[in-house]
Every structure is written in structure tokens, then in C-alpha cells.
Amino acid sequence: MKIGFIGLGNMGAPMAANLAQAGHDVTGFDVAGTTAEGVAQADTINAAATGMDVVITMLPNGAILRDVAAQIIPLMSKGACFIDCSTVDVDSARAVAQDAEKAGILAVDAPVSGGVGGASGGTLTFMAGGSADAFAKAEPLFDIMGQKAVHCGAAGAGQAAKICNNMILGATMIATCEAFALADKLGLERQKMFDVVSTSSGYSWSMNAYCPAPGVGPQSPADNDYKPGFAAELMLKDLGLSQQAAETADADTPMGQLALSLYKTFVEDEGGKGRDFSAMLPRFSKRGRG
């Protein structure tokens, strides 16, 4: 396929490179001028969208996605596929899909899970929303860039799945960090805490796969001075999207709201920006009850 890839940042560049390595003809564009291995560089965003079978975007937020979509949809060929892999608000995903479909273009919102490591290793999980035809066209590309793709439903369903997942992740990471800090103060060794919880009813991805305590469990950012695998400010963004969606849907999400508040304070006032989201553990360890 001829593929245009717009947004060659930490996630987009390795994703585009994997598509090129698999034999696709990939042309990339990024406003910062970044490039990706094996990917031809377009001078303009228009050049990355014109005449392509598929255009993939990986962008920072819904407002930028809407602007980019408004620019490229009129340039795309009828029957082409527009795959957005950004994590954005559900309303933006649905609005862009509607505009694409009006222009005769297949549209898929397909945010990802797996971080930079998953993007580089081609092991991402894609949560996709859109028509069955659109998903069918995108699925072979998901198979190259990731290890799993789930068709979650109509337009916006991919974003809904991503923000619900990450609302759980934010809340469970906070609870895991709180529990380790409490265990410390109760004189319980962290390794013993892990040995019990990781095989008991407190089991979670935050504990078992991404343990926030250094030297405990499998390797995680905690073992690298909390350098980000998933930055706290990105968790803050996703929790903000979850509460924006909850407001629109009139859903009661007090744990999600509290997680948003705690990460907001951590990122904006407590030096959490640029640290992994699991760095909540040293944050709680330093704090007392008051």
C-alpha cells in the first residue's frame, strides 16, 4: 500500500518504520521535521495525504486532529482509509469520522496501548472504532504495527475503550503505590508485599507487570529511576479525557475524578512532569496522613 503517516514522534516514528520495513511505501510528515527509518519525507502535510491508499495520524490532541483532518480529507482519494491512532476525546473522533465518511473515505479511530516499547517492537494493542469495511482495510496494518487489534464498535468506540482502560490504570496505580507506602510504614518488606499481592486478590497489571517498587517484580521504570515508559503527564491527559467523556455521558466516576486530581497535583505542583506515572510511589512515601 501507499501510506501517508502524519506525526512522527516517539510513537509515530517507530510505527511508520515498521510499516516501511514490512514492504509498504510509506511517506511521513511531522511539523517538527522528524523522520523515521525507511520512510520517505514529505515537505508538506498535503504531500503526505495526496494519492495515498491509507493515511495514518498520530497527534497530540483532538483539536490538532480536527485541524489536520479538515486539511487532508479533501485531498484523499475516495475509498482511501483514514486511520487515527492518537488518543483524543470521543467527540473529536466521531466528528472526524463523520467528515471522512461524507467524503467517501473509510475512517477508523484506533488509539493504542503498549507505549514506545510496543511501538518499536510492533507489539501494540489497537482499540478500533469504525465500520466493518474500514476495520478490514486497516487490520493488516495493525498486524504489522501490533500484536492485537480489537474492533470495539462504531466511530469513537476505540477512544471510549482506551479512556476507560486508562481510567482503571490510573486508579489502580495510585492504589498500588498507596499500598506500598502503607506497607513500608507498617514494617512489611516490599518483596513480601509483592509476593502476597501478586498472587492474591490484589493482583493487577500495575502490581504484576509494572510494579512501582524498585527491585521488586519484573523490570519496570521504577528500576530506571522512574524514567518514563508512560509519562505522568500522559496519564493526566488520559484521565482528563475520561472525565470529559463522563461529563458528556452523565456518568458517575468518583475514582476517576480523584485519580485526575491527584495526577494533576503531581504533574503541576510536585515535580511529576517528565517522570513515569508509577513515580507516585516515592510521592506517597514522602507524605504523612495530613
Catalytic residues: 162
d(CA 32, CA 199): 46
Calpha distance 39→21 (Å, rounded): 9
Instruction: Specify the residue for cell string 513480601.
Output: 192
Q: How far apart are CA 222 and CA 149, in angstroms?
A: 29
3-state secondary structure of 200: coil
User: Could you give phi then psi for residue 7, rounded to 5 degrees?
Assistant: 110, 85
90, three cell numbers: 470521543
- Give the separation between CA 187 and CA 20, rounded to whole angstroms: 53
Look at residues 87, 71, 93, 85 and name the one whose alpha carbon lies nearest to residue 149: 85
DSSP characters over 72-92: HGGGSPTT-EEEE-S---HHH
Of 177, 183, 235, which is closest to residue 211 (Cα–Cα)? 177
